[in-house]
Amino acid sequence: MSLLRRISTAQGAPVRFWLDGQALTAMAGDTVLTAVLTQTTQLRRSEFSGMPRAGFCLIGSCQDCWMRLEDGTPLRACSTSIVEGMRLLSGTPATPLHQKASS
């Protein structure tokens, strides 16, 4: 089950990435948000409520789509391109992502 589905029949080059340790395939040119939400129903869980989040504005303004790489680097899923070998985590971080990103 996924939140988004592709409506274009155009096929880009496959891009392999990992989400919570699971190998998945996106399409070249996808944002992280598109890559993740064409495969599942959420980007992460809110660090405040624990509720699932899937982005809101989709233009880099609302801070709803923060995810982390396995090395702890935060990124905005809606304004970051997926890249080959990217290793993403959807889990709730111990430190709110917006605090980590601004420090």
Q: What are the residues binding ligand FES (CB under 6 A)?
A: 55-58, 60-65, 76, 78
> Minimum distance between the CB of residue 39 and ligand FES, rounded to whole angstroms?
17
Q: Return the number of the residue (28 or 57) whose C-beta is nearest ligand FES.
A: 57
> Minimum distance between the CB of residue 59 and ligand FES, rounded to whole angstroms?
6
Q: Cβ contacts of residue 49 below 8 Å, gap of 6+?
A: none
Q: CA 16 to CA 18: how far, in whole Å?
A: 7
Longest dimension (CA), the chain: 42
Q: CA 102 to CA 43: how far, in whole Å?
A: 20
Pairing type for strands 87-89 and 66-69 reads: antiparallel
Q: Return the number of the residue (28 or 62) whose C-beta is nearest ligand FES.
A: 62
> Minimum distance between the CB of residue 101 and ligand FES, rounded to whole angstroms?
11
Residues found in the chain: 103
Q: Return the number of the residue (30 or 64) whose C-beta is nearest ligand FES.
A: 64
Q: Return the number of the residue (58 or 89) whose C-beta is nearest ligand FES.
A: 58
